[in-house]
Amino acid sequence: MDFRQYIANFSKEKYGRKYIYLKRTEKLIVIMSAHNQGDNFMSLKTFHDGLNYSLLFLNNPENSWYIDESNSYDKIITEVLNDYEPKNVIFYGSSMSGYSSIFFAFKYNANAFAINPQINLDLTKDIGWDELESNLNNISCSYVALEKYCYRKWKDSAIYILHGHNDLDVKNVDLLSMAKPDNKKLILQTIDSDLHDNYISNDVNKINDIFNIIYSYRDISISDVGVNKKLKERRKEINQNKENNILDNDVGSINWHDRYEHELPNNIVKFDDIGIYDNNGKLSGCICVYNGYQWELISPKLEGLNLIKEQDFVFEKDEFQFKDNDYFYDKWWSRINVSSNIKGIVNNSELKLNIISVDSKNTYISTSPNKSLIKSDLKKQSRYFTFFMDICVSEGEAYLSLGGRSERGYFHSNSKITRSLYWTKISVSELFSNIDVSHKDSIFCRLFYCSDLKNKIVKIKKPLLIEGYFPHNLIV
């Protein structure tokens, strides 16, 4: 079958949305296209040829997580679902559409099969890649956090989640895993993969097996037997408070990704899941204030905890030429191609880099902390570190990189890119584990300032490395 012609012949348009609806049986699968699929219908051929269910295909060209002010998807789904019992409906999606599949399953008391779904879109903005953050910022209407929405909406829905070990996926799935609504039917299957991917997109037999599991799981009913009425009412009250983020203490103790619900001028909040490490090896939390635009750190104070304080630019140095693998200032060294021409000067506690000509994107300066200052045994313990620096660029871009050398090889994370003419503090966090402490690059802090190959002036000051986790959009 020519599926291009099939789409042309059988796709419909309503409420400004194109969709394909094929009615076959009393059981319906709603297939929701994932991120960056444009006008395509995900797995159209696989599901059309390989499954004997009624099928509804939806797409989301604008990458809005199926969220829109006109509720166009809601209207189409409502009309189609009128012909089906909720127990016979499964929403299927991956990543972006994994979120929407679970959302609509809760809303219609249907079921969902989601692969690496986003559960909390604010969390996803914080830890996802730049394109995800940009598309989420373009959503103009409100959206829900599924780990809270479920307290009100999880009735009989059977939810099957398939996920790997990508940080984005683990942290999202954990939120729904830890939620405790009154009713909960959840199957979690973890794949030994670090990729954010749809692992079985074309394996129709495995997909059908999972659909059968979901339908069977949905049919299992266990009645409410011998429950104390007062205890039940108290639990429901606690669950309602969890959904609404009602907290008992004066300084609210919440997760960083929930901060948007607390953004009132001069509001003070303790965020539990960020900060330095306490004596028990857990993050201490941070007390922060919202200044009307951003969150600012109140406590803990970081100045005395800087692991690269010795590498601050406190002593002046006359203009010099950068050379490859050369220690140009205390423990700072440079990576530069021999044919590049870059000069530096240190004064007023800042380093100015004058890029006259450059021919490699892999041009950077690097330093490492004094290992004697690190309290943790990074061979046995896992610890976050956060690297900060104030940067301004005359044009083009620059970014930070924080990484190291483990027993398995190199690893690193990069900060957001800065293109600001004005002083801007940027930061990057990375998790360190099984570190090869004997290696020169066991922990490295780097500034990449030529990724665009542009000639320019870059100024930097206040390098700061902290053993702890501090998100990039927190002012410290």
Domains in the chain: boundaries = 3-219, 247-300, 306-475
Phi and psi of 243, rounded to 5°?
-65, -35
Regarding pTM above 0.75, the answer is yes
Taking residues 298-310, what's their average pLDDT? 93
Question: For 241-245, 339-343, 368-372, 400-404, which range has the lowest pLDDT when averaged over its residues?
Answer: 241-245
Q: Higher pLDDT residue, 378 or 391?
A: 391
DSSP state, residue 87: G
Cβ-in-10-Å burial (0-12, 13-18, 19+) of 72 comes to middle
Q: Which long-range contacts (CB under 8 A, 24 or more apart) does 378-382 make?
A: 378/432, 378/433, 378/434, 378/435, 378/437, 378/442, 379/434, 379/435, 379/437, 381/281, 381/433, 382/431, 382/432, 382/433
Look at residue 280 and tell me whether its pLDDT is greater than 90. no
**Do the domains 3-219 and 306-475 sit in the same CATH topology, yes or no?**
no
- For residue 36, what are its two tokens? 């960056």
Residue 269 CA to residue 254 CA, distance in Å, equals 8
Whether residue 114 contacts residue 130, with contact meaning beta carbons closer than 8 Å, is answered with: no
Q: 216-226: per-residue pLDDT in tens?
A: 999 998 876 66
The CA distance from 401 to 415, in Å, is: 6
Query: Predicted confidence band at 259 (pLDDT cuts at 50, 70, 90)?
Result: very high
What is the spatial distance between Cα 6 and Cα 1, in angstroms, rounded to a whole number?
8
SS3 of residue 428 by DSSP: strand
Across 423-450, average pLDDT: 91
pLDDT digits (tens, 9 = 90+) for 175-231: 999 999 999 999 999 999 999 999 998 899 999 999 999 999 999 988 766 656 666
Q: Which helix (H) or strand (E) holds 185?
A: strand 185-190
In the CATH scheme, what is the homologous superfamily, with its name and number, of domain 306-475? Galactose-binding domain-like (2.60.120.260)
The pLDDT, as a whole number, for residue 354 is 98
pLDDT of 157: 98
Contact 384, 356 (CB under 8 A): no
Token digits of residue 354: 């004058």
Q: Does the structure show a pLDDT above 80 at 373?
A: no
Tokens for 93, please give them. Answer: 């999606």
**What pLDDT is stored for residue 435 in this prediction?**
85
Confidence of residue 247 (pLDDT cuts 50, 70, 90): very low
Q: What is the mean pLDDT of residues 421-428?
A: 96
DSSP state of 280: T
Q: Which pLDDT value is given to residue 228? A: 65
Q: Give the whole-number percent of the chain exceeding pLDDT 90.
A: 79
Q: What is the pLDDT of residue 250?
A: 42
With DSSP H G I counted as helix, E B as strand and the rest as coil, what are the percentages for the chain, rounded to 5?
25, 30, 40
Rounded-to-integer distance, Cα 4 and Cα 448, Å: 45
- Evaluate whether 452 touches 397 at the Cβ level (below 8 Å): yes
Q: What distance in Å separates the CA atoms of residue 134 and residue 309, rounded to the nearest whole number?
A: 34
The residue among 32, 51, 33, 44 whose CA lies nearest residue 205 is 51
pLDDT per residue as tens digits for the range 123-178:
999 988 889 999 999 998 999 999 999 999 999 999 999 999 999 999 999 999 99
Give the pLDDT band (50/70/90) at residue 251: very low
Give the pLDDT confidence score for residue 231 in this predicted structure: 65
CATH number of 3-219: 3.40.50.1820
